[in-house]
Structure 1
Amino acid sequence: MLVSLALLALGVLTAVVAPRLLPRADWAEREPVVALWVWQCVVAMVLLSFALSMTFSAAAAWQAVRGPVFASAPSAVIEAYELGTNRPWSAVLAVLLAAGGLWSGAMLGREIGQARTRRKQRRCELLVRAPLLPGEEVSGSGRLVVLEGERADAWWLPGGTPRLVITTAALRRLKGRQLDAVLAHEQGHARARHDWLLHCGEALAGGFPGVPVFAAFRGEMHRLVELAADDVASRRFGRLTVALALVELNEDRGVFGPGPAPDGDLPQRVNRLLTAAPRLSPGHRLRLTAAASLVPVIPVLVAFVPALTALP
């Protein structure tokens, strides 16, 4: 069945070409939220292409699948999809793609389980380092936790009772609006649920390390969510304030010195904030968002081509 092979080829082509084209977009750093949406739509297109290819291959191979899928379809449509010609590769392709789908689900489940375990461990560590007061309950404790520490740091701990954690060293280093900017940055992660994007990226890249689009998706998610959170904070407190806060938090880690740094993206983030490139116009952002939203529709249109040509 040619439509199944066409969908498979579309998914493979997108998985190879998209990681080479999308990083070249000069607007991504100016509009990280739009870039996040574009990457999600591209990955959705790849996954949908493979899912539809699996469906049509299974329909061609087994009557048990063909019946429910094409129950109300006219005979001309069924003939257009060549469902009566049972080729051996149809069953093989359907099984392989189904196994890939089950593996993706298993990897996502594993990633979520590991993330929950890590969060539980970090919450236990928080209780050790910042024990509850007599009569205080965990569910009723505040969302802001201050830890005694000599290293300036701040992070958001997601979960059922999300917490914003900051060390006393960060409180000493950050002055006034800089502290507010750091808190706004972490709250930006929480409101946008960036942790779910990171989980999906880790699951796909970990489950299919040889697929370029999934590896690029993971890397871009880590980079773009930080840029998006930087923009959330800078809209409230200014780009210069956010840049100075990043420098104050990380200057002792060797990030801004010569040679390789443990977090090489930080200098680029600070430089991006200081250069203050103008945002795209609202109309341009709307067009990019709308165009990206249509990307997952492409495999659906390919899947319906034989049916549309068969109908009078």
Structure 2
Amino acid sequence: MMVPVALLLIGALTSVVAPRLLARADWTDREPVVALWVWQCAVAAVLLCCALSMALSAAAAWQAVRWHVFATAPRGVVDAYALGTAGPWAAPTAVLLACAGLWSLAMLIREVARTRVRRRGQRAKLLLRAPLLPGEEPTGGRLVVLEGDRPDAWWLPGAAPRLVVTTAALRRLRGRRLDALLAHEQGHAQARHDWLLHCSAALADGFPRVPVFAAFRDEMHRLVELAADDMASRRFGRLTTALALVELNEERGVFGPGPTLQAHVPQRVHRLLTAPDRLPAPRRLRLAASAALVPVIPPLVALVPGLRALG
């Protein structure tokens, strides 16, 4: 009955090694979409390790759970897992992992609930500042222009998504630069980056001492911006997108010598102004395929005794 232990060891190893390997990689900024995929695969592998270890530990500890887990399996497969030889650690392990799963779900629900409350407040303020005109439908039209002295633009997801732009941004950004800014925000919406941020925040808040979850949250905030920059630059050019970022943020002090909350903006501008150095398509494909294999490892490890018994 070593499979649950092996799964936990694989999960722990992945949670420690994956952030370090990705931190040392020199291609993540060049290929943010691939990096987002790799991060999701690594986190999925850790969660699968915990879920499968919980299921097998519970099956070893309680006969009723064992019957449900191995309901259609031949007798030889059940015997191959040696569930009856499990020590007293099986039940506490299953309970602990189940509590961790419920805690993760609770953190995700809390994150989604907080976001909905925040969005309702934003929509109420938006409706106050930009009331509906006579005959205008609440769900009609995605672009909202707000009167404001500060250039800004943001995407407000939800049942009735809105792309909000201030009049200062319209005055400052002209032509293709404004189009690039709007394309950046639309890129966030099309890729559903908000759900990536929700899931990463929920895992990091629930398990702050797990390295892969904390790094996952930090990298998601950075990589989604780079991915949206690339979406905009593919349509309107890297120089145009960089100039739009500069004009939008130049009055916020982000380009000064001191550290700011938006210190990543100069790095994004520098990246856009640097000649693109994308990875060759075959290497991107290999990276994506290799990452996709990582979440397959836990189910394969869990199935090894059963496959041997059947073979």
TM-score greater than 0.5 by the shorter chain: yes
Question: What does residue range 70-219 of structure 1 map to in structure 2 within 5 Å?
Answer: 70-140=70-140, 142-219=141-218
Q: Please report how far the alpha carbon of residue 278 of structure 1 lies from its aligned counterpart in structure 2 after TM superposition.
A: 2.0
TM-score (ref. length: structure 2): 0.98
Question: Which residue in the other structure is 1:257 paired with?
Answer: 256
Secondary structure of residue in 2 paired with 1:210: coil
Measured in 1, the distance between the counterparts of 2:272 and 2:86 equals 59
For residues 29-40 of structure 1, the aligned pairs below 5 Å read 29-40=29-40
Distance in 1, Cα, partners of 2:281 & 2:18: 25
In the alignment, what sits opposite 2:65? 65
1:39-97 Cα deviation digits (max 9, x unpaired): 00000000000000000000000011101211232333222211112421000000000
CA distance in 2 between partners of 1:220 and 1:109 (Å): 22
CA distance in 1, matches of 2:145, 2:52: 50
CA distance in 2, matches of 1:237, 1:80: 60
Distance (Å, rounded) in 2 between the aligned partners of 1:177 and 1:198: 29
Structure 1 residue 7: Cα displacement: 0.3
Q: Which runs of 4+ in 1 moved over 4 A?
A: none
Identity of aligned residues (%): 73
Q: Secondary structure at the match of 1:295?
A: helix
Structure 1: state its 5+ residue gaps.
Answer: none
SS at match of 1:241: helix
Distance between the aligned counterparts of 2:72 and 2:152, measured in 1? Answer: 60
Deviation, structure 1 residue 14: 0.8
| Separation in structure 2 between the aligned mates of residue 87 and residue 63 of structure 1, nearest angstrom | 14
**Whole-angstrom distance in 2 between the partners of 1:24 and 1:264:** 21
Partner Cα separation in structure 2 for residue 79 and residue 136 of structure 1: 67
1:5-20 map, 5 Å? 5-20=5-20
Q: Please name the residue that 2:268 is paired with.
A: 269
- Give the paired residue count: 311
1:233 is matched with which residue?
232
Instruction: Please state if 1:306 is matched with 2:305.
Output: yes
Distance 1:134 1:74 in 2: 69
- 2: CA distance between counterparts of 1:200 and 1:234? 27
- Give, as a single letter, the amino acid of the residue that structure 2 aligns with 1:84: G
Deviation for aligned residue 1:311: 3.1
Q: Cα deviation per residue 1:211-235 (whole Å; 9 max; x = unaligned)?
A: 1100100011100100000000000
Name the SS for the 1:145 alignment partner.
strand
**Matched residue type, 1:190:** A
User: TM-score under structure 1 normalisation?
Assistant: 0.97
Aligned equivalents of 2:235, 2:303: Cα separation in 1: 47
Per-residue displacement from partner, 1:176-201 (whole Å, max 9, x unpaired)? 11000000000000111100000001
Whole-angstrom distance in 2 between the partners of 1:167 and 1:231: 23
Once superposed, what is the RMSD of the aligned Cα atoms? 1.0
2-structure distance, mates of 1:167, 1:82: 65
1:65 aligned partner, one-letter code: V
Partner of 1:296, secondary structure, is helix
Matched residue SS, 2:83: coil
1:268 and 1:306 map into 2 onto residues whose CA distance is: 50
